[in-house]
């Protein structure tokens, strides 16, 4: 059987790369597919796979008049999100994975998963999906090859990456590629594993069909493996959006920003400035992931390794994110949203009236007023970034864009002010390391508990978090022109629990101040925590219907709250043990001393 599969793999292969051919043959011998298909990324292949997916029920065509080129997919109800508790970092030494990751010894993981993969593709097709993460030909771009038995995965990878012949051509005869193996298996949660082998540049995913677990170029390669490679090679793989903001004078500033989930990341990346900012322009380089490395001119350059957007749908509408709504108007795959009688899609928070009747995300009848959600709260869209009306012309630039500012932002009802600037790089890393968001009742049963999420990377860092933070500190040595670092918080609440700051497009006012600080155009007020806008030459509040006391509350720094904050940070740093970077411990001591003084 093994020799037959090896022959099949070799005969059909559009490459002579010996390492790749041998690996595909070995994986085919284990999984025993009926056919091996090498994907070329062509339009004809897309049409063929789409037709096949519709025929087998994987995809449901939507109304071609209202959603041209769009389809709906329903995943297994037990398979609707990333599974952090089943996601493993497989390093020889448990310490290397660190206390914030699940760990499995590599040989044990290979043995356990090999038993699951053995013969799992009998009666199925193995698709060989070569793909590039990053613009083709770029020095920062990485090549991966994913073997999968899911046509849904292939069609998503086509949107999310530069997939097919071009990636294979870029790889050539090199053995430097990520080896990804995926099978949906029988979608049994008891046999579901997403295992990363950083030293082998390998990812094995079994038992899931959900995007975050099976689109191996995304969180798996771009962040977990990417962060490990970044430390080894001297760059940063980060869970960050990248945007360009252009002033009426034509001056463009590029900014990277990290926000945990439910903090408005995609909205910020595609923001439309308010009418008071006529002539200003926001353009999206990336909405989720940034690979950043020092450039020859001493600045930090970032690329978006992805080619599409895999976003959360509920709450997306023409008020919160009109550019996202335009992006998903065509050639989009929707997962676990509701279906309208006329063949359109619907989700909670969509514009317009709630329909009287729908087919819900599980394919069941749904009536208006039901206590059940029509669309799953984690329902998704997969859309090409080329659909984005404000896509930056630099989004496909192999050189990337020079980053002038880095923003860290969490969801906090108090303590953290609307915006502040770090004193220096080390202080900025401290702000990023200690960022977090407050839990909701839906998440934990407790409200207001701060969940630390350093740099929004807690679920995605492929090695010890202490080493990761030290790598951030060490990067200072190789970036002569360091980006300025800022912290923002759109979610401060008043005594009645109402958000003080209006957010959305009005965040442009904060962004303008950040740009002015980067360009050295406005003075600041120094506080114990960092530099904040001055009242006389600070935020542009023209046309904003907010009383002065509300602005003061949103930007206030209260020492008693910060004393409690610093105490609560202890738990996180204690978790890192001896690997907690000394420079960050010193920052913390200095802040405590300033507050106590």
In this structure, the answer to whether residues 381 and 261 fall within a common structural domain is no
Q: What is the pLDDT of residue 10?
A: 47
* Phi (first) and psi of residue 303, to 5 degrees: -120, 155
442 Cβ partners below 8 Å, 6+ apart? Answer: none
In this structure, the answer to whether residues 87 and 181 fall within a common structural domain is yes
Q: What is the pLDDT of residue 442?
A: 46
Domain end marker among 356, 387, 418? 387
Question: What is the CATH classification number for the domain harbouring 378?
Answer: 2.170.8.10
Q: What is the pLDDT of residue 90?
A: 98
Q: What is the pLDDT of residue 440?
A: 58
Domain end marker among 387, 411, 440? 387
Q: What is the pLDDT of residue 101?
A: 98
Question: What is the CATH classification number for the domain harbouring 527?
Answer: 3.90.228.20
The C-alpha R_g of the chain, in whole angstroms, comes to 24
- On the question of pLDDT at 448 being above 80, the answer is no
In this structure, the answer to whether residues 230 and 249 fall within a common structural domain is no
Q: What is the pLDDT of residue 449?
A: 84
In this structure, the answer to whether residues 420 and 524 fall within a common structural domain is yes
In this structure, the answer to whether residues 140 and 217 fall within a common structural domain is yes
- On the question of pLDDT at 181 being above 60, the answer is yes
- On the question of pLDDT at 8 being above 70, the answer is no
Q: What is the pLDDT of residue 597?
A: 75
In this structure, the answer to whether residues 314 and 374 fall within a common structural domain is yes
- Rounded Cα distance between 62 and 72, Å, is 7
Mean per-residue pLDDT for 239-260? 97
Q: What is the pLDDT of residue 280?
A: 98
pLDDT tens readout for residues 300-358: 999 999 999 999 999 999 999 999 999 999 999 999 999 999 999 999 999 999 999 99
- On the question of pLDDT at 2 being above 70, the answer is no
**Region of poorest pLDDT, from 16-25, 415-424, 547-556:** 547-556
Q: How many CB atoms lie within 10 A of CB 154?
A: 23
Q: What is the DSSP string of 532-584?
A: EE-SSSS---TT----HHHHHHHH---HHHHHHHHHHHHHHHHHHGGGS-HHH
Question: What is the CATH classification number for the domain harbouring 47?
Answer: 3.40.449.10
pLDDT tens readout for residues 369-399: 999 999 999 999 999 999 999 999 999 999 9
Q: What is the pLDDT of residue 368?
A: 97
Q: What is the pLDDT of residue 447?
A: 62
Give the torsion sign (CA, 73, 78, 83, 89): negative
Mean per-residue pLDDT for 409-429? 97
pLDDT tens readout for residues 422-446: 999 999 999 999 998 987 544 445 6
Angle at 396 between CA 167 and CA 134, to 5 degrees: 45
Q: Which of 364, 365, 336 is closest to 348 using CA atoms?
A: 336
Mean per-residue pLDDT for 9-33? 91
In this structure, the answer to whether residues 367 and 415 fall within a common structural domain is no
Mean pLDDT score across all residues of the chain: 95
Query: Does residue 461 carry a catalytic annotation?
Result: no
Q: Are the CB atoms for 562 and 529 separated by under 8 Å?
A: yes
In this structure, the answer to whether residues 396 and 359 fall within a common structural domain is no
pLDDT tens readout for residues 21-30: 999 999 999 9
In this structure, the answer to whether residues 203 and 106 fall within a common structural domain is yes
In this structure, the answer to whether residues 447 and 536 fall within a common structural domain is yes
Q: How far are the Cα atoms of 230, 358, 361, 500 from residue 343, in angstroms, in the given order?
A: 44, 10, 14, 39
The proportion of the chain whose per-residue pLDDT surpasses 90, expressed as a percent, equals 93
Q: Are the CB atoms for 190 and 214 separated by under 8 Å?
A: no
In this structure, the answer to whether residues 434 and 523 fall within a common structural domain is yes
- Rounded Cα distance between 312 and 335, Å, is 10
pLDDT tens readout for residues 161-177: 999 999 999 999 999 99
In this structure, the answer to whether residues 524 and 582 fall within a common structural domain is yes
Q: What is the pLDDT of residue 444?
A: 42
Q: Would you tell me the crossing angle of helices 151-160 and 43-55 to the nearest 10 degrees?
A: 140
Q: What is the pLDDT of residue 35?
A: 96
If one counts the domains in the chain, the total is: 3
| Residue 68: inside a domain | no
Q: Exposure of 248 by Cβ count < 10 A (0-12 exposed, 13-18 middle, 19+ buried)?
A: exposed
pLDDT category, 466, cuts 50, 70, 90?
Answer: very high
- On the question of pLDDT at 5 being above 90, the answer is no
- Active-site option among 39, 90, 220, 263: 263
- On the question of pLDDT at 11 being above 80, the answer is no
The domain in which residue 409 lies consists of 238-305+392-596
- On the question of pLDDT at 7 being above 90, the answer is no
pLDDT tens readout for residues 259-303: 998 788 999 999 999 999 999 999 999 999 999 999 999 999 999
The proportion of the chain whose per-residue pLDDT surpasses 70, expressed as a percent, equals 97
């Amino acid at each position: 059987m093994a020799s037959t599969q090896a022959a099949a793999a070799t005969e059909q292969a559009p490459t002579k790369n010996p390492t790749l051919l041998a690996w595909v043959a070995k994986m085919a011998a284990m999984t025993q597919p009926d056919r091996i298909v090498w994907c070329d990324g062509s339009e004809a292949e897309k049409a063929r796979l789409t037709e096949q997916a519709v025929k087998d029920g994987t995809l449901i065509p939507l109304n071609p008049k209202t959603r041209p080129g769009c389809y709906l997919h329903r995943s297994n109800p037990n398979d609707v999100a990333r599974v952090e508790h089943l996601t493993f970092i497989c390093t020889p030494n448990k310490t290397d994975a660190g206390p914030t990751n699940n760990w499995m010894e590599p040989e044990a993981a290979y043995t356990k998963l090999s038993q699951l993969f053995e013969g799992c593709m009998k009666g199925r097709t193995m698709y060989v999906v070569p793909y590039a993460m990053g613009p083709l030909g770029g020095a920062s771009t990485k090549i991966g090859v994913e073997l999968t038995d899911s046509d849904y995965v292939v069609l998503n990878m086509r949107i999310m990456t530069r997939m097919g012949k071009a990636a294979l051509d870029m790889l050539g005869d090199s053995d430097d590629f990520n080896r990804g193996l995926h099978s949906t298996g029988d979608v049994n949660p008891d046999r579901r594993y997403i295992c990363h082998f950083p030293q082998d540049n390998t990812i094995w995913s079994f038992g899931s069909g959900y995007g975050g677990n099976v689109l191996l170029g995304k969180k798996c390669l771009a962040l977990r493996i990417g962060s490990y490679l970044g430390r080894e090679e001297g760059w940063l793989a980060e869970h960050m959006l990248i945007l360009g903001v252009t002033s009426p004078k034509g001056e463009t500033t590029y900014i990277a920003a990290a926000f945990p989930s439910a903090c408005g990341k995609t909205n910020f990346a595609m923001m439309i400035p308010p009418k008071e900012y006529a002539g200003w322009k926001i353009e999206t380089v990336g909405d989720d992931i940034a690979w950043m490395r020092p450039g020859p001119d001493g600045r930090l350059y970032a690329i978006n390794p992805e080619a599409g957007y895999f976003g959360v749908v509920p709450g997306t509408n023409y008020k919160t994110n009109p550019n996202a709504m335009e992006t998903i108007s065509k050639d989009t795959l929707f997962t676990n949203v509701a279906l309208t009688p006329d063949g359109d899609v619907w989700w909670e928070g969509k514009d317009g009236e709630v329909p009287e009747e729908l087919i819900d995300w599980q394919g069941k009848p749904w009536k208006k007023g039901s206590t059940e959600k029509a669309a799953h709260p984690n329902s998704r869209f997969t859309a090409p970034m080329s659909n984005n009306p404000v896509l930056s012309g630099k989004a496909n630039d192999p050189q990337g864009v020079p980053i002038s500012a880095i923003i860290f932002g969490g969801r906090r009802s108090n303590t953290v002010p609307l915006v502040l600037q770090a004193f220096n790089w080390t202080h900025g890393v401290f702000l990023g390391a200690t960022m977090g968001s407050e839990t909701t009742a839906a998440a934990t049963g407790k409200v207001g508990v701060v969940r630390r999420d350093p740099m929004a990377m807690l679920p995605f860092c492929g090695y010890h978090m202490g080493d990761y933070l030290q790598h951030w500190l060490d990067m200072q040595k190789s970036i002569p022109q360091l980006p300025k670092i800022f912290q923002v918080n759109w979610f401060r609440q008043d005594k009645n629990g109402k958000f003080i700051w209006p957010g959305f497009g009005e965040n442009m006012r904060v962004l303008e101040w950040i740009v002015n600080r980067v360009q050295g155009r406005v003075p600041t007020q120094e506080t114990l925590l960092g530099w904040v806008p001055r009242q006389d030459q600070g935020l542009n509040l023209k046309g904003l219907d907010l009383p002065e006391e509300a602005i003061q509350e949103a930007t206030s720094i209260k020492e008693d709250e910060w004393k409690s904050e610093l105490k609560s940070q202890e738990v996180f740093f204690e978790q890192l043990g001896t690997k907690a970077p000394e420079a960050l411990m010193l920052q913390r001591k200095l802040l405590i001393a300033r507050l106590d003084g």
